[in-house]
Amino acid sequence: MTHSVLVIDDEPITRYLLRRVLEGVGFQVVEAEYGLDALAKIRQEQPDIMILDARQQDDAGFAVCRAPQAEGVDLLSVVMLGARTQLATIQEILHTGIAKYLPKPVSSLDLLEKVEEVMCYAPVGD
């Protein structure tokens, strides 16, 4: 079974690089440029996991993490990428329900490791 990943980032080159890494190991990748675009893609595609840039142009990064549940979409596991590296900030982010946080720039190996960890512990639907 192929797992699907929604990659949300406003930088086209970042989306492209993440796509290449993820497709290279067999994931199906859907892209969204910003938070509100991502909400539509979540409804349409129902991905297994999201990789989300913490900083969104429409300031909807954390809203994207909460919105699917409010609309009855199954819980999505989220890996967040961001520039913040202070321990207190990362702990605060993880308390919002984000499964994993990776500081940018992220290596391919670190990304794949965290995605695999999240996929192993993702909730299974009925």
pLDDT by 10s per residue, the chain, length 126: 689 999 999 899 999 999 999 999 999 999 999 877 888 898 898 899 999 887 765 555 566 666 555 554 555 788 888 877 677 777 777 677 788 888 888 999 999 999 999 888 655 443
DSSP string, 3-57: -EEEEE-S-HHHHHHHHHHHHTTT-EEEEESSHHHHHHHHHHH--SEEEEES--T
Residues 6+ apart with CB under 8 A from 60: 34, 35, 36, 38, 39
What domains lie within the chain, and their CATH numbers? 4-121 (3.40.50.2300)
Question: CA–CA separation, 111 vs 104, rounded Å?
Answer: 10
Q: Which residues pair with 21 in a beta bridge?
A: none
